[in-house]
Amino acid sequence: MMRIVLADDHTLVRTGMRLLLESIPDVNVVGEASDGLEALQLIQEHRPDCVLMDLAMPGLNGVEAVRRSTAQFPGIPILVISMHADEAYVHRALVAGARGYLLKGSDKEELEIAVRTVCSGVTYLTPAISKTLVAALAKKATSEPISPLEVLTLRQREVLRLVAEGNSTKQVAARLGLSAKTVEAHRGAIMERLGIRDLAGLVRFAIRAGLVAQDP
Protein backbone atom coordinates (compact mmCIF):
# COMPACT_ATOMS: atom_id res chain seq x y z
CA MET A 1 0.00 0.00 0.00
CA MET A 2 1.41 3.41 -1.01
CA ARG A 3 0.77 5.93 1.76
CA ILE A 4 0.51 9.51 0.53
CA VAL A 5 0.37 12.98 2.08
CA LEU A 6 -1.43 15.55 -0.06
CA ALA A 7 -0.71 19.29 0.25
CA ASP A 8 -2.76 21.97 -1.53
CA ASP A 9 -4.38 25.12 -0.15
CA HIS A 10 -7.63 24.66 -2.09
CA THR A 11 -10.10 22.35 -0.37
CA LEU A 12 -11.97 21.43 -3.55
CA VAL A 13 -8.72 20.59 -5.33
CA ARG A 14 -7.59 18.39 -2.44
CA THR A 15 -10.96 16.65 -2.34
CA GLY A 16 -10.86 15.91 -6.05
CA MET A 17 -7.28 14.72 -5.96
CA ARG A 18 -7.95 12.50 -2.96
CA LEU A 19 -10.83 10.82 -4.77
CA LEU A 20 -8.62 10.25 -7.81
CA LEU A 21 -5.72 8.95 -5.75
CA GLU A 22 -7.83 6.57 -3.68
CA SER A 23 -9.43 5.17 -6.83
CA ILE A 24 -5.94 3.89 -7.72
CA PRO A 25 -5.28 0.36 -6.41
CA ASP A 26 -2.96 0.21 -3.38
CA VAL A 27 -3.01 3.99 -2.75
CA ASN A 28 -4.08 5.49 0.56
CA VAL A 29 -4.06 9.23 1.40
CA VAL A 30 -2.99 9.35 5.06
CA GLY A 31 -3.04 13.12 5.49
CA GLU A 32 -4.06 16.42 3.89
CA ALA A 33 -2.35 19.77 4.38
CA SER A 34 -3.39 23.28 3.35
CA ASP A 35 0.06 24.90 3.70
CA GLY A 36 3.74 24.02 3.82
CA LEU A 37 4.12 23.90 7.59
CA GLU A 38 1.17 21.58 7.98
CA ALA A 39 2.62 19.39 5.25
CA LEU A 40 5.93 19.09 7.11
CA GLN A 41 4.10 18.14 10.30
CA LEU A 42 2.14 15.42 8.50
CA ILE A 43 5.30 14.09 6.82
CA GLN A 44 6.99 13.82 10.20
CA GLU A 45 3.94 12.16 11.73
CA HIS A 46 3.12 9.65 8.99
CA ARG A 47 6.45 9.13 7.15
CA PRO A 48 4.54 8.49 3.89
CA ASP A 49 5.82 6.74 0.80
CA CYS A 50 5.25 9.88 -1.26
CA VAL A 51 4.14 13.50 -0.92
CA LEU A 52 2.08 15.40 -3.49
CA MET A 53 2.88 19.08 -3.07
CA ASP A 54 1.40 22.22 -4.60
CA LEU A 55 3.82 25.15 -5.06
CA ALA A 56 1.58 28.15 -4.42
CA MET A 57 0.44 27.89 -0.81
CA PRO A 58 0.08 30.53 1.92
CA GLY A 59 2.53 30.80 4.78
CA LEU A 60 5.35 28.40 3.95
CA ASN A 61 5.24 28.01 0.17
CA GLY A 62 5.63 24.71 -1.64
CA VAL A 63 9.20 25.28 -2.82
CA GLU A 64 10.46 25.94 0.70
CA ALA A 65 8.40 23.03 2.04
CA VAL A 66 10.02 20.74 -0.55
CA ARG A 67 13.46 22.04 0.41
CA ARG A 68 12.91 21.48 4.14
CA SER A 69 11.28 18.09 3.70
CA THR A 70 14.09 16.88 1.44
CA ALA A 71 16.65 17.98 4.04
CA GLN A 72 14.80 16.40 6.99
CA PHE A 73 13.37 13.32 5.28
CA PRO A 74 15.58 12.57 2.25
CA GLY A 75 14.04 9.14 1.76
CA ILE A 76 10.53 10.50 1.20
CA PRO A 77 10.06 11.56 -2.46
CA ILE A 78 7.98 14.60 -3.36
CA LEU A 79 5.88 14.94 -6.50
CA VAL A 80 5.08 18.57 -7.21
CA ILE A 81 1.64 19.13 -8.73
CA SER A 82 1.33 22.58 -10.26
CA MET A 83 -0.60 24.58 -12.84
CA HIS A 84 2.66 26.15 -14.07
CA ALA A 85 4.64 24.59 -16.92
CA ASP A 86 7.26 27.30 -17.46
CA GLU A 87 10.94 26.73 -16.77
CA ALA A 88 11.23 28.98 -13.71
CA TYR A 89 8.72 26.97 -11.67
CA VAL A 90 10.04 23.58 -12.75
CA HIS A 91 13.61 24.67 -12.09
CA ARG A 92 12.82 25.87 -8.57
CA ALA A 93 11.01 22.63 -7.75
CA LEU A 94 13.85 20.41 -8.98
CA VAL A 95 16.57 22.45 -7.30
CA ALA A 96 14.60 22.31 -4.04
CA GLY A 97 14.69 18.52 -4.25
CA ALA A 98 11.40 17.45 -5.85
CA ARG A 99 11.48 13.96 -7.35
CA GLY A 100 8.78 14.72 -9.90
CA TYR A 101 6.70 17.44 -11.54
CA LEU A 102 3.13 16.98 -12.77
CA LEU A 103 0.69 19.51 -14.19
CA LYS A 104 -2.74 19.83 -12.58
CA GLY A 105 -4.38 19.40 -15.96
CA SER A 106 -3.05 15.85 -16.27
CA ASP A 107 -5.49 12.95 -16.46
CA LYS A 108 -5.93 10.13 -13.94
CA GLU A 109 -3.76 7.73 -15.92
CA GLU A 110 -0.80 10.08 -15.85
CA LEU A 111 -1.37 10.81 -12.17
CA GLU A 112 -1.13 7.09 -11.42
CA ILE A 113 2.02 6.72 -13.52
CA ALA A 114 3.62 9.73 -11.82
CA VAL A 115 2.80 8.52 -8.30
CA ARG A 116 4.03 4.97 -8.91
CA THR A 117 7.19 6.23 -10.62
CA VAL A 118 8.11 8.66 -7.85
CA CYS A 119 7.25 6.17 -5.08
CA SER A 120 9.59 3.65 -6.74
CA GLY A 121 12.47 6.13 -6.45
CA VAL A 122 12.55 7.24 -10.09
CA THR A 123 12.18 10.84 -11.25
CA TYR A 124 8.99 11.68 -13.15
CA LEU A 125 8.50 14.79 -15.30
CA THR A 126 5.27 15.33 -17.20
CA PRO A 127 5.56 14.89 -20.99
CA ALA A 128 4.06 18.37 -21.35
CA ILE A 129 7.53 19.65 -20.45
CA SER A 130 9.78 19.23 -23.47
CA LYS A 131 12.77 16.90 -23.38
CA THR A 132 15.02 19.82 -24.24
CA LEU A 133 13.76 21.79 -21.27
CA VAL A 134 14.14 18.79 -18.97
CA ALA A 135 17.77 18.36 -20.02
CA ALA A 136 18.49 22.03 -19.42
CA LEU A 137 16.84 21.97 -16.01
CA ALA A 138 18.69 18.84 -14.95
CA LYS A 139 22.00 20.45 -15.90
CA LYS A 140 21.16 23.62 -13.98
CA ALA A 141 20.05 21.68 -10.94
CA THR A 142 23.39 19.90 -10.67
CA SER A 143 25.85 22.55 -11.83
CA GLU A 144 24.56 25.99 -10.94
CA PRO A 145 24.54 27.62 -7.50
CA ILE A 146 21.11 28.42 -6.11
CA SER A 147 20.27 32.11 -6.15
CA PRO A 148 18.44 33.44 -3.08
CA LEU A 149 16.06 35.09 -5.55
CA GLU A 150 14.78 31.65 -6.64
CA VAL A 151 12.09 31.75 -3.94
CA LEU A 152 10.55 34.92 -5.43
CA THR A 153 8.34 35.28 -8.48
CA LEU A 154 9.31 37.73 -11.22
CA ARG A 155 6.67 40.20 -10.01
CA GLN A 156 7.94 39.95 -6.45
CA ARG A 157 11.46 40.69 -7.66
CA GLU A 158 10.18 43.82 -9.41
CA VAL A 159 8.41 44.97 -6.26
CA LEU A 160 11.48 44.24 -4.13
CA ARG A 161 13.75 46.21 -6.47
CA LEU A 162 11.50 49.26 -6.49
CA VAL A 163 10.98 49.17 -2.73
CA ALA A 164 14.72 48.83 -2.15
CA GLU A 165 15.33 51.80 -4.44
CA GLY A 166 13.29 53.95 -2.03
CA ASN A 167 9.94 54.07 -3.80
CA SER A 168 6.80 54.38 -1.67
CA THR A 169 3.93 51.91 -1.95
CA LYS A 170 1.99 54.37 -4.12
CA GLN A 171 4.99 54.92 -6.37
CA VAL A 172 5.56 51.19 -6.81
CA ALA A 173 1.87 50.72 -7.58
CA ALA A 174 1.99 53.46 -10.22
CA ARG A 175 5.16 52.09 -11.80
CA LEU A 176 3.80 48.55 -12.08
CA GLY A 177 0.16 49.37 -12.75
CA LEU A 178 -1.01 47.70 -9.55
CA SER A 179 -3.15 48.77 -6.63
CA ALA A 180 -1.47 49.86 -3.40
CA LYS A 181 -3.14 46.91 -1.66
CA THR A 182 -1.61 44.47 -4.13
CA VAL A 183 1.83 45.99 -3.64
CA GLU A 184 1.47 45.64 0.12
CA ALA A 185 0.45 42.02 -0.32
CA HIS A 186 3.50 41.37 -2.50
CA ARG A 187 5.80 43.03 0.03
CA GLY A 188 4.34 40.93 2.84
CA ALA A 189 4.81 37.75 0.81
CA ILE A 190 8.40 38.74 0.01
CA MET A 191 9.21 39.29 3.68
CA GLU A 192 7.61 35.95 4.58
CA ARG A 193 9.51 34.02 1.92
CA LEU A 194 12.84 35.64 2.75
CA GLY A 195 12.37 35.63 6.52
CA ILE A 196 12.94 39.39 6.65
CA ARG A 197 10.96 41.59 9.04
CA ASP A 198 11.78 45.20 8.13
CA LEU A 199 12.51 47.54 5.22
CA ALA A 200 16.21 47.84 6.06
CA GLY A 201 16.53 44.07 5.80
CA LEU A 202 14.86 44.11 2.38
CA VAL A 203 17.27 46.78 1.16
CA ARG A 204 20.30 44.81 2.38
CA PHE A 205 19.00 41.65 0.73
CA ALA A 206 18.34 43.45 -2.58
CA ILE A 207 21.89 44.83 -2.58
CA ARG A 208 23.45 41.43 -1.83
CA ALA A 209 21.31 39.79 -4.52
CA GLY A 210 22.37 42.40 -7.09
CA LEU A 211 18.88 43.83 -7.64
CA VAL A 212 20.00 47.36 -6.75
CA ALA A 213 23.36 49.06 -6.65
CA GLN A 214 24.93 50.06 -3.36
CA ASP A 215 25.56 53.75 -2.92
CA PRO A 216 29.28 54.61 -3.26
- Segments of the chain assigned to CATH 1.10.10.10: 148-208
Percent of the chain with pLDDT over 70: 88
Cβ contact 54:7 at 8 Å: yes
Note the pTM of the prediction, 2 decimals. 0.63
CATH class of 2-143: alpha beta
pLDDT band at 85 (very low <50, low <70, confident <90, very high): confident
Distance, in Å, from the CA atom of 79 to the CA atom of 93, rounded to the nearest integer, reads 9
**Quick one: CA torsion of 37, 90, 126, 59, rounded to 10 degrees?**
20
- Say if residue 117's pLDDT is above 80: yes
Each residue's pLDDT tens digit, 34-50: 999 999 999 999 999 99
Q: Residue 82 corresponds to which amino acid? A: S
CATH 3.40.50.2300 domain locations along the chain: 2-143
Label the pairing between strands 100-103 and 50-53.
unpaired
The closest alpha carbon to 99, from 72, 118, 73, belongs to 118
What's residue 216's pLDDT? 47
CA atoms of 133 and 130, how far apart (whole Å):
5
> Is 148-208 a domain of CATH 1.10.10.10?
yes
